[in-house]
Amino acid sequence: MRKTVYWIEGDGIGPEVWNAARPVIDEAVTAEYDGERSLEWVELLAGEKALAAGETPLPEATLTALRDAELAMKGPLGTPVGSGIRSLNVALRRTLDLYACIRPIRHFGGLETPVKHPERVNMIVFRENTEDVYAGIEFAAQTPEARKLVAFLRDEMNVQIAESAAVGLKPMTEAGSKRLVRRALRYALDQKLPSLTLVHKGNIMKYTEGAFRQWGYDLAAQEFGDRTCTEKDPAAGRLIIKDRIADAMFQEALLRPEQYSVLATPNLNGDYLSDALAAQVGGLGLAPGVNMSDTLAFFEATHGTAPTIAGQDKANPGSLLLCGALLLEHIGWHGAAARIRNAVNAVIAARTVTVDLAGQLPGSRAVGCREFGELVGAAL
């Protein structure tokens, strides 16, 4: 079996992390399936590489290929100055309707962290990626648009609001919330995980965040009623659906992380929570991620282009390596995925790490990007 993966190299440290990571991903597949399965890598241009080829930063050919693709993976993309594009990542997300941003969070091999028991954290955040205050609908204070909206709210809707206010909107739909929760639920059930927690701020924002919570419970009952239960009404062998108010969830993540598994969140809560959890396990630089539409799983290194260390063989390829593991898991090639994860774990546990992690690992030896990749390859 052969699966096509479209890949975008990315800017800055993109080329070197790919050079270190891609051979390892292929080796893991070969080691596990002995030639019976393989990945076919097809490069697509974006960012500086596209500009250098005389294209726009996000060429139409790249978008066309991605619209029909099932699997893709990208390195970090900078934002080309003066290109007229605010962010290539946002443009990709919008154009391809990548509505679910998924980040698994777990601790790796002895890394020092700010908490005593990072190994108790094993969560996966499903964050809605298209709605909420991040929809980008906002108006600067004192502009004609803001004034018009404020006047409408005061005069027609009887809302108390300062005339000088900047205003942003928080659109959240039933369809948008449910498709995110559906995806998280399917994952939790497929992986036989114990619980799914809806994280919301519905005590304050009743009709947006509160509705997210309710839509989540409704969806679980309507579509997965025979396989789920609630915390109030538990049933053995079923996935427990819980909900937590976002601020309490941050406390829970620190105090009782072992009680949480899959988290489903609106956009803003999920943004904060996934970075806070990654920091809790000491792994911001190692965090893999994937953005999904109904047809495409688009894996991405979660770090940026790290311009100050680009081209110096100092970058950590761990995020891309773990993206590879996530991709293999997504297509059901669990054996190869486990090989990568275990090998990364073993190399970190042996205290050979890139400089960014060396500070978190007393007695470690700092190695370059390429050597780190080779060590992981050898540990497969």
Which positions touch ligand NAI (CB under 6 A)? Answer: 13, 17, 76-79, 89, 285, 300, 303-309, 315-316, 354, 356
Query: Nearest distance from residue 280's CB to ligand NAI, in Å?
Result: 17
Query: Nearest distance from residue 303's CB to ligand NAI, in Å?
Result: 3
User: Quick check: helix, strand or coil at residue 245?
Assistant: strand
Up-side HSE of residue 356: CA atoms within 13 Å toward CB? 18
Q: Which is nearer to ligand NAI, 17 or 111 (CB)?
A: 17
Q: Which residue is nearest to ligand NAI (CB)?
A: 304
Q: Which is nearer to ligand NAI, 3 or 351 (CB)?
A: 351
Q: Which is nearer to ligand NAI, 46 or 219 (CB)?
A: 46
Catalytic residues: 134, 201, 247, 271
Residues contacting 225, CB < 8 A, separation 6+: none
DSSP 256: -
Paired tokens of 164:
């000088």
Query: Nearest distance from residue 76's CB to ligand NAI, in Å?
Result: 4
Instruction: Please answer whether residues 191 and 202 qualify as being in contact, where contact means their C-beta atoms are separated by less than 8 angstroms.
Output: no
Query: Nearest distance from residue 80's CB to ligand NAI, in Å?
Result: 9
Q: Which is nearer to ligand NAI, 160 or 308 (CB)?
A: 308
Query: Nearest distance from residue 74's CB to ligand NAI, in Å?
Result: 7
Residues contacting 378, CB < 8 A, separation 6+: none
Q: Which is nearer to ligand NAI, 135 or 284 (CB)?
A: 284
- In degrees and rounded to multiples of 5, residue 239 shows phi and psi of -70, 125
Q: Measured between alpha carbons, how far is 41 from 270 in angstroms, rounded to an integer?
A: 31
DSSP 57: S
Distances from the Cα of 333 to the Cαs of 2, 40, 72, 142, 359, in angstroms? 12, 15, 16, 55, 34
Distances from the Cα of 119 to the Cαs of 8, 13, 272, 305, in angstroms? 33, 29, 21, 29
By CB atoms closer than 10 A (0-12, 13-18, 19+), residue 121 is buried
